[in-house]
Structures are given as C-alpha cells and as structure tokens.
Structure 1
C-alpha cells in the first residue's frame, strides 16, 4: 500500500505524468486513493482490458 501512496505523491508533485493501474490492483489502489486528502484532484480514465490511467489536475472535480 505504501507503493500506491508514493505513486500518488509523485503524481501530485509532478514527478510522474500518470499512473497506470491494472484491474487486479484496482481495489487495493482505490482504497488508498479515496482516503487521500486531495482525492478530487485525481482523475481516472478507463482503458481497454481493465487498465486505468490516473492523472493529477490542479482544479478538483466537483
């Protein structure tokens, strides 16, 4: 789980452009994501075969 926290921090700090999560990792990753204080700044885009690409936006979604 610490792996996902570090990935989110890198995404937030601009050290990464995106995070790719496989469907097998989704529930474990989501558990960390929804607890993040800036949860609404992360955007997930579903791709084929259950992959999800997460990016960070300066403006939170509503």
Structure 2
C-alpha cells in the first residue's frame, strides 16, 4: 500500500486503529516519511496521503 501511495495508484489509504501503530512504525523509518500525511479520524483510524512536497 505504501508503494501504491508513492506511485499515485491510490490517493488515500485508510488505516484502522488496530494496525495504525504498526503502519506508523514502518512509515517513520522510511527515507521519504515527511511526504506522508496522516489525517486522524474520529474512529481512531488514520487516512494516509502521499504529498509531492515534503511537509515541514
């Protein structure tokens, strides 16, 4: 799914709260982790998007 976000095959990845911490642990180790934006949801999940410009 991470590779699909990077390549633009998908625009968003909805990660449920049960696996969020595992997914986040992987994303923060990536060289381009600042390109990933996580948008918290009320349900406890997160929607990840991949940005062309890194966030600050």
Which runs of no fewer than 5 residues in structure 2 stay unpaired?
none
Task: Say what the alpha-carbon RMSD is for the aligned residues.
Answer: 0.7
Which residue is equivalent to 2:53? Answer: 59
Alpha-carbon distance in 2 for matches of 1:30, 1:51: 11
Which runs of no fewer than 5 residues in structure 1 stay unpaired?
1-6
After TM superposition, the score normalised by the length of structure 2 is: 0.93
After TM superposition, the score normalised by the length of structure 1 is: 0.85
Q: Moved runs in structure 1, 4+ residues, more than 4 A?
A: none
Residue 43 of structure 2 aligns to a residue in which SS?
helix
What is the aligned length? 56
